Structure 1
Amino acid sequence: MGRFASTASLYEHLRPPYPSDFFHRVARKLGLSRESSLIDLGTGPGLLALGFGPYVGRVVGVDPEPAMIEAARRAAASAGQALTLIEGKAETLADDIGSFDVVTIGRALHWMDREPTLARLDRLVARDSAIVICASFSATDGSNAWLDGYNEIRRRWSPTRLWEEAGRGTRTHRDLPRFFRGSAFAPTELIAVETRHAVSVQDLTQRVLTYSSSSPEALGDNVEAALRDVESHLASFHRDGAIAETIVSTAQIVTR
């Protein structure tokens, strides 16, 4: 069982969402059309693949976790979108898959082996096309007053090894020039969209379980205790059971 198997049923509904304006702005910047093709590596439940789906003609999602592939399949059916799904790692995709106008990657790059991933991207990215590294997260500028305590509780309950892995993942996402150094690719423009929404205390508490470092598998017998700790912390921040959250959604465009 993969590290995200126990999070698949929660991930698509509880992670900070990508707003519709995010997909519109990125699609417009890249000049996407129904003639365009897109492959989403580490697709999870298909958040990026389905978000960009209306702007392109062909979408492929790739993920090594069977539970995530099944979640993406259900989401595509619910949305009435055509989505080709491949269970496997980005690094080992078959050569005959061809090239694409856009390659998207969410918060998955740090799970991929750098050298084989760069070699595969060199084949996947069509001439004059782009890689788009995406993320959507709670703003860390102080606008989410509950966030620091929330993350401290996650750190306290997470196994040290997994928390350190999560930290390395964040650093990889922030230091894309280092990841692509020596390759044919380099980061260029960053698109950022900030939105606000209300999230229930229950959903924000349960969101803890969608991260690999604090998944049900990682927490084991401590799941209920950890959730009680988080819920207790959030109690002083909600109004009528809901908490205001500022979300930042980013797309780092990477080109040859």
Structure 2
Amino acid sequence: MTLFDSVDQHYARHRPGLPDEVVQLLATGLAGVDGPRLLDLGAGTGQVALALLPALPPAAHFDLADQDEGMLRTALDELRPHLDKRTATVHVGPAEQFTPTQPGYEADLITCCRAFHWMDRPAVLAMADRVAAPHAAVAIMGDGSLWTHEADWTAALKALIQAHLGEERRAGTTGAYREPGRRYEDDLVDSAFSDLTEHRVPFTRAWTPRGVVGYLRSTSFARPDLFPDHRRFEEQAQALLQQLAQDGVLHEDGVFTVLLARRPGTSR
């Protein structure tokens, strides 16, 4: 069993996508590549690919890698109506074990969004070095979660979760969550992709109480099977969020961070 088994529909419906500025940043790095190949690691239900599709040429190809086969099936279901002439292939397994199915494969962009902390990061970057084109960029991206976001409504929601599950942040079947032992920047600097730039993109999101409850089902810290009485928790969460919402809306103001890394001397 993988950490996010059986939550693919909640992922697809409730996980936020990429801000437009991030999409343009990544697409700009592919300018001039007629048939770009994009490798998305920890792809989940395809949020990165869905966000990038409109900015890519018709000959673009996506390789989506994830350990959860159900999520990848959902990703293909979500992508197919929008692919047009673009193509997508899924790969089930750990990111560091990604193996191209075609000889001479070279990825023009390798992305990992909200998933790098679950991975064997040095092994993933070594794999990326093997499959990346000389000019390719590696983009490690994320924006935290509603557990880490600081607002009155998220603090109250976190307290409710802790009342049911204990003070420590849960991490699904793996027990308590542990922060990465080192910064992602240090992982990248110690890899082949040591030419690093950081991009911080402010964003504002509007959530509904129902949307937040759906999002929680997709998380490692509040997935349904963690709760002795999940229905009771959701009823309490829904009531709490409706009380705290302003005109039915809960606002999240945050920063989406992109670490864009290349091999030295190869910046486009």
TM-score range, shorter chain: 0.7 to 0.9
Give me the TM-score of the superposition, normalised by structure 2: 0.81
1:206 maps to 2:214: yes
Q: Match of 1:87? A: 92
How far is 1:77 from its partner? 1.7
1:157–1:214 Cα contact (<8 Å) kept: no
Q: Counterparts of 1:114 and 1:74 in 2: how far apart (Å)?
A: 29
C-alpha distance after superposition, 1:75-105 (max 9, x if no partner): 1123245321112222112265522111000
Q: Match of 1:65? A: 68
1:131 maps to 2:138: yes
Change (3 A) 1:223 1:186: farther
1:177 maps to 2:185: yes
Q: Match of 1:99? A: 106
Gaps of 5+ in 2: 264-268
C-alpha distance after superposition, 1:16-44 (max 9, x if no partner): 33233320233225546443221001100
Q: Counterparts of 2:223 and 2:214 in 1: how far apart (Å)?
A: 10
1:196 maps to 2:204: yes
Q: Counterparts of 2:96 and 2:3 in 1: how far apart (Å)?
A: 18
Q: Match of 2:244? A: 237
Which residue identity lines up with residue 13 of structure 2 in the other structure?
H
Question: SS of 1:151's equivalent?
Answer: helix
Question: SS of 2:255's equivalent?
Answer: strand
Question: SS of 1:118's equivalent?
Answer: helix
How far is 1:156 from its partner? 4.1
Q: Counterparts of 1:24 and 1:42 in 2: how far apart (Å)?
A: 21
Which residue identity lines up with residue 69 of structure 1 in the other structure?
L
Q: Counterparts of 1:206 and 1:233 in 2: how far apart (Å)?
A: 15
Percent of aligned pairs with the same amino acid: 24
Alignment of 1:15-34 (within 5 A): 15-29=15-29, 31=31, 33-34=33-34
How far is 1:137 from its partner? 4.3
Gaps of 5+ in 1: none
Change (3 A) 1:243 1:141: closer
Question: SS of 1:194's equivalent?
Answer: strand
Q: Counterparts of 1:58 and 1:64 in 2: how far apart (Å)?
A: 20
Q: Counterparts of 2:206 and 2:194 in 1: how far apart (Å)?
A: 36
How far is 1:15 from its partner? 2.0
Which residue identity lines up with residue 94 of structure 2 in the other structure?
K
Change (3 A) 1:167 1:12: farther
2:72–2:90 Cα contact (<8 Å) kept: yes
Q: Match of 1:154? A: 161
How far is 1:204 from its partner? 1.1
Q: Counterparts of 2:83 and 2:170 in 1: how far apart (Å)?
A: 36
Give me the TM-score of the superposition, normalised by structure 1: 0.84
Question: SS of 2:243's equivalent?
Answer: coil
Bigger helix fraction = 1
What root-mean-square deviation, in Å, do the aligned CA atoms of Structure 1 and Structure 2 show?
2.7
2:185–2:259 Cα contact (<8 Å) kept: no
